[in-house]
Amino acid sequence: MEHAVMLMAEGGAREHFRAELAGLGFDTTPFASVANLLRHWRRGDGGLLFIDVDLPGEDWPAVIAQLHEVSPRRTVVIGVGASAPSASVALDAGADEFVAMPCRAPELAARVQAALRRADPGRAADTSLSCGPCALDVAARKLVAPRGSVALTSRETALARCLFQSSGGLVSRRRLAHIWEAEEDIAGRSIEQHVYQLRRKLKRCVGDAVVLRSVYARGYQLECLVAPRAA
């Protein structure tokens, strides 16, 4: 999974936002104060950052300027807010993009990818992945094939993204547990349930052309069984 950092007050809105990001394949490190965020940022090498500009009492132009100063080429800031002037506050302060709360996954995915592409024009968009005749549309949360499409839940999309990114290779249970933000043994049963549902949906979408195998005590492997056509 890709990683992001977020500055938001604790509560339901933050957990909802983290769940939406998990559905898009991002694990997150949350902070509730600017001071703690800046200390963390100075120890790292930049990355993707979500800032709730509705938090009171902050000089957002100064905060965002400090973040870019630490890592000017690797800091991508996306402002988040629910009030009417939030977008202007975020963009005028130097944010690269803005997402209105409450957000929907397709819009969130589109704005994240747009901000990342602008920051790194050579970055390949990761909103569509494929394994043989089956494609995963991350933003729309669905499997797509010539015969039709099958809708996925948020967790199934995050699970599928990990597997499609490593198509043909082994994906460990520990890596998948990050989606659930839990220890491997705690997440195990939930992983198995979602793997079962994803396996059924793959079969509905492409039959036996793509299979999701369980590798005992190690993890899972997504494999295409359709031989490539001769040129």
Domain boundaries, the chain: 2-119, 128-224
d(CA 117, CA 123): 6
Characterize 164-182 residue by residue with b for buried, 16 or more Cβ atoms within 10 angstroms of its Cβ, and e for exposed. Answer: bbbbeeebebeebbbbbee
Model confidence at 11: pLDDT above 70? yes
Model confidence at 231: pLDDT above 50? no
Query: Is residue 146 helix, strand or coil?
Result: coil
Q: What's the predicted TM-score (pTM) here? A: 0.56
Q: What is the pLDDT of residues 95-117, one digit of tens each?
A: 888 988 887 777 788 788 778 77
Which residue, among 148, 170, 167, has the nearest Cα to 226 in the 3D structure?
Answer: 167
* DSSP H or E run through 62: helix 60-70
Predicted pLDDT of residue 121? 55
DSSP category for residue 209: S
Mean pLDDT confidence for 194-220: 93
For residue 24, the number of C-alpha atoms closer than 13 Å in the C-beta half-sphere is 25
Structure tokens, 226: 């359709």
More confident of the two residues 64 and 121: 64
* DSSP H or E run through 31: strand 26-31
Predicted pLDDT of residue 228? 47
Which residue, among 139, 175, 182, has the nearest Cα to 159 in the 3D structure?
Answer: 175
Mean pLDDT confidence for 58-81: 84
Query: Is residue 79 helix, strand or coil?
Result: strand
The architecture in CATH of the region 2-119 reads 3-Layer(aba) Sandwich (3.40)
- What is the end-to-end Cα distance of the chain in Å, rounded? 35
Structure tokens, 19: 């769940």
Which residue, among 11, 13, 60, has the nearest Cα to 37 in the 3D structure?
Answer: 60
Q: What's the fold here for domain 128-224? A: Arc Repressor Mutant, subunit A (1.10.10)
Model confidence at 224: pLDDT above 80? yes
Strands 75-81 and 219-224 come out as unpaired
d(CA 173, CA 179): 10
Structure tokens, 146: 């010539």
- C-beta separation of 224 from 132 below 8 A: yes
d(CA 49, CA 66): 13
